[in-house]
Amino acid sequence: MNAVVTTAGRTNEANIEVAISVAKELSLQYVSRKKKSVQLLHAEHKSDVIVVSNERLELYVLGSNTPFFFHPNSAAFRMKRLLKGEKDLFLQATGLQEGDCFLDTTAGLCSDSIVASFATGETGIVHACEANTLVAYIVSTGLKRYKTPISELQNSMHRVHLMNVDAVKYLKSCESDTYDVVYMDPMFEEEIEESSNFQTLRAVGLHDVLTEEWVEQAKRVARKRVVLKAHFRSEMFGRYGFEQLTRLTSKFHYGILNI
């Protein structure tokens, strides 16, 4: 990891202590902000910059002025719809029920994992894999500390267990039939209109390509179903034998492999 940890421009002793603690936890260097811009810190240290503020942790990738930070993102409005009794296409594709065990092999911001946690409830298990250490740390911290008045969303976030691990390596370490559903959402092969935070995630995320080994290990570990999310024009559905659930108005589709 090539990164330094600092504070927001206007800071306090509490945030300085947090920044020093984050730096130690990640084995990174803490640098005093001294009113320097993130761009100047990039230039001086030739590294990514993690900024500790009152509200959140932000990651500024070297060469970018746009921060990556945790936010429940689409999970928040999806949760509101679910609480109104509306359907969620991800839950329809996964078929998750209360008490199920779910593995998200491409965690990112954990939006789908949060929704999965809501569906599986207090008796369920939701695990998520994120190979990028800095992304995993920021998202894991956000899942624990983000505050929302929606108690169902808050509880769902707290139940997600995010692991800083390569998905295929983790799958290979699992016993067969460990999870009811294994899910994969590789970075889209084609650009689609996204939020700025997702675009930043695309910049910092590890762009793993779906492989035969990944799919075969997912099939071995899943008890019920493997689910793929990809661009509607993706060849991955046919290549790996997924039943593509077509949606005429969407640029992404889900594919399912029943075990």
**What fold characterizes domain 74-258?**
Rossmann fold (3.40.50)
Share of the chain above pLDDT 90, in %: 80
Which CATH number applies to 3-60?
3.40.50.10480
The structural domains of the chain, with segments of one domain joined by +, span 3-60, 74-258
In this predicted structure, what is the pLDDT of residue 199? 54
Q: Look at residue 45 and give its three-state secondary structure.
A: helix
Which residue type is seen at 160?
V
In this predicted structure, what is the pLDDT of residue 195? 46
Matching CATH topology for 3-60 and 74-258?
yes
CA-to-CA separations, 1 to 99, 127, 204, 224, 238, in angstroms, rounded: 37, 24, 12, 37, 37
Are the beta carbons of 63 and 133 closer than 8 angstroms? no
Low-confidence ranges of the chain (pLDDT < 70): 187-208
Instruction: Tell me the residue ranges of DSSP E strands in the chain.
Output: 3-7, 29-30, 48-52, 57-60, 101-104, 125-129, 160-163, 179-184, 222-231, 243-245, 252-258
In this predicted structure, what is the pLDDT of residue 105? 96
| Ramachandran angles phi, psi of 156, nearest 5° | -65, -40
Q: Look at residue 125 and give its three-state secondary structure.
A: strand
Q: Mean pLDDT over all residues of the chain? A: 91
